[in-house]
Structure 1
Amino acid sequence: MKLVMLGTGPFAVPTLQALAGGPHEVALVVSRPFKGRKKALRPPMHTAAEELGIELWTPESVNLPESIVRLESLEADLLVVCDYGEILKPAALGATRLGGVNLHGSLLPKYRGAAPVQWAVWNGDTVTGNTVIQMTAGLDAGPCLAQQRVDIDPDETAGELEERLALLGAEAVVDVVEKLTAGTAETVEQEHTAASKAPRLAKQDGLVDWSLPALQIKNRVRALSPWPRTFSFWHIEGREPVRVVIDRVQVDQSGEPEASAPGAAPGVVVEQSGKLLVQTGEGLLEVLTLQPAGKRVMQAAEFLRGYSGGRFASE
């Protein structure tokens, strides 16, 4: 088959590499434009396409009439879409013989939207997966062609989970393409009434609310790593608050959470004997590594030597 791959972010790279190494022709890679100057910040798919020697095209929109004309001129069989960054309209999907398939990092219909992996971790889910769908006009609403289920490690960050799902998902896409080639692909309609949304998270979502339970805060730290990160403000009397990125944490298991620090307000550091233990709305959270503004990431003990006598607050 003659394929056109649409992708921009890192989640799409393993799929492109797998397809390029297979029997089918990847005629073109379509990616979102990059207007920066730093090569290190280029979208991963730009670099991957160049390394594989595949033509890269970065239109302002794949849905523009002139873009549709170019897609149609390729006379391709299938669009393969993953982590692209633009919703394809019916005209774009109709530019190839078999339309488009999309690799999505959740067990659809759960977590339709731009950040399915982050929301799975944010909500403390223990299982997630990938879905390959036949694309339709609705957002992540097309019938399923394949699904994969994976367990989420309780300490796994969204970035680590996404890397695993990307590698597994590439295998699912290759399998779907083979079945479409052979005419043996089968679809299963999604249970649309069970759909949930996974909108893109913003930097401000990383502000820690210390009144939440320790486990919930931990899940948010995991979900927002590597971007946009969680943060709080370290207050020492008589000094300006310091913005601090919360890097790695764990729920303290040394005692009963509800009796961890009777009367202590959320954000208060209740022990500083080598550990940075913070009172939350339910239980203690141990901050393992953190990064004060303008400084490097450091261990909690090192931080406490330079910033002793403080507490966390949300502003």
Structure 2
Amino acid sequence: MTRAVVFAYHNVGARCLRVLLARGVDVALVVTHEDNPNENIWFECVADIAREYGIPVAAPDDPNTPEFVACLRALNADFFFSFYYRLMLKSALLALPRRGGYNMHGSLLPKYRGRVPVNWAVLHGEHETGATLHRMVEKPDAGGIVAQQAIPILPDDTAGEVFNKITLAAEIALYDILPQLIAGTAPHVLPDLKAGSYFGGRKPEDGRIDWSKSAHEVHNLIRAVAPPYPGAFCDFAGHRLLITRSLGLPGQREEAGKPQLCLKEGSLFARCGDGGLVRILSLTLDDEAIDPGSLLDHLGANPIPLN
């Protein structure tokens, strides 16, 4: 029987762990993270799944310590799998599995290597992304690709909605390729890193809206950081506006002028720096959800100047 150690977190980790078990892989240990009490935990718990199946669980602060490496060496694993595990596995760990280590990444590599690839893809207005299973090497997201599954990004999809599609894409990609991986017949195609891109992490402050940008860019930011992520926001007269959902209106624009929020026939619109319009579908005012159509009454202005 094929034996694996699984490093996993989040929904992709949960679904891919279930795929390994469904395909008859002996999971000797699940390595995961303790949940951060300051983080919005909206995703499935990998540790709970492991315990349901009687699989031992570890959550080290650093899996690369000599002591933990020694523990994993004793398990004699054929494979290591990393499914949305948040820490890099260094060379001493990657040298342990007899058949290699493999990572599931949330983009169509070599595009969007690095952190939060779904959010970056939505922010940049991509029409497609996907999940990629690749061999782990020391350089992030640079090893041979063994499987990919593409998914569409619709014009008004939020990053959360795209992430749900990525989760399914990861499950399909792993389920389909796993028999070949175990048999040793899976192809390994080295990515052309020059044709791709690398991105770092994002902070809540990166969600601040610059209304002087085009309507297309503003709409992409709103949906890229929409809940369950921290959200896109701006400040007006001492109030914090958090825009949680918007609708792109390609081709609809007014004469370019200073950005503003205005009410038309009961709906709230933002005029952006290029004169393009974005319809605001939901928002919070000082952490309280309100009807967008009532915002101007709350703030006592119509229109509301932005920036």
TM-score by length of 2: 0.91
2:241 aligned with 1:244: yes
* Displacement after TM superposition at 1:272 (Å): 4.3
Q: Percent identity?
A: 32
Partner of 1:238: none
Instruction: Report which stretch shifted further, 16-25 or 303-312.
Output: 303-312
Q: Which amino acid aligns with 2:242?
A: V
Partner of 1:210: 211
Partner of 1:128: 129
CA distance in 2, matches of 1:286, 1:234: 18
- 1:174-224 Cα offsets, whole Å, 9 max, x none, are 333311221211111101211211211111110000001111111111111
Which has the larger share of strand? 2
CA distance in 2, matches of 1:39, 1:155: 23
* 1:206 to 1:312, Cα distance in 2 relative to 1, 3 A: farther
2:101 aligned with 1:71: no
Q: Following superposition of structure 1 onto structure 2, how do residues 1-315 of structure 1 map, counting pairs within 5 Å?
A: 1-34=2-35, 36=37, 44-225=45-226, 226-235=228-237, 241-252=238-249, 256-257=252-253, 260=254, 262=255, 264-266=257-259, 268-282=260-274, 283-295=276-288, 297-309=289-301, 311=304, 313-314=306-307
Aligned CA RMSD, in angstroms, stands at 2.2
CA distance in 2, matches of 1:11, 1:304: 41
Consecutive unaligned residues in structure 2, runs of 5 or more: none
CA distance in 1, matches of 2:44, 2:220: 27
CA distance in 2, matches of 1:135, 1:110: 16
Q: Which amino acid aligns with 2:201?
A: R
Q: Secondary structure at the match of 2:114?
A: coil
Instruction: Report which stretch shifted further, 169-178 or 92-101.
Output: 169-178
CA distance in 2, matches of 1:57, 1:270: 53
CA distance in 2, matches of 1:30, 1:65: 16
| Equivalent residues of 2:78, 2:98 under 8 A apart | yes
* 1:263 to 1:105, Cα distance in 2 relative to 1, 3 A: closer
* Displacement after TM superposition at 1:33 (Å): 3.4
| Equivalent residues of 1:28, 1:57 under 8 A apart | yes
- 1:230-256 Cα offsets, whole Å, 9 max, x none, are 111133xxxxx2101101112346x74
* Displacement after TM superposition at 1:264 (Å): 3.4
CA distance in 2, matches of 1:214, 1:37: 32
* 1:293 to 1:37, Cα distance in 2 relative to 1, 3 A: closer
| Equivalent residues of 2:252, 2:277 under 8 A apart | no
- 1:19-74 Cα offsets, whole Å, 9 max, x none, are 12221111111012346499968972233323343221011211110111111111
Structure 1 runs of 4+ aligned residues shifted over 6 Å read 37-43
Q: Which amino acid aligns with 1:45?
A: V
CA distance in 1, matches of 2:101, 2:167: 18
CA distance in 2, matches of 1:159, 1:40: 13
- 1:120-155 Cα offsets, whole Å, 9 max, x none, are 100000011111101111110001011112211111
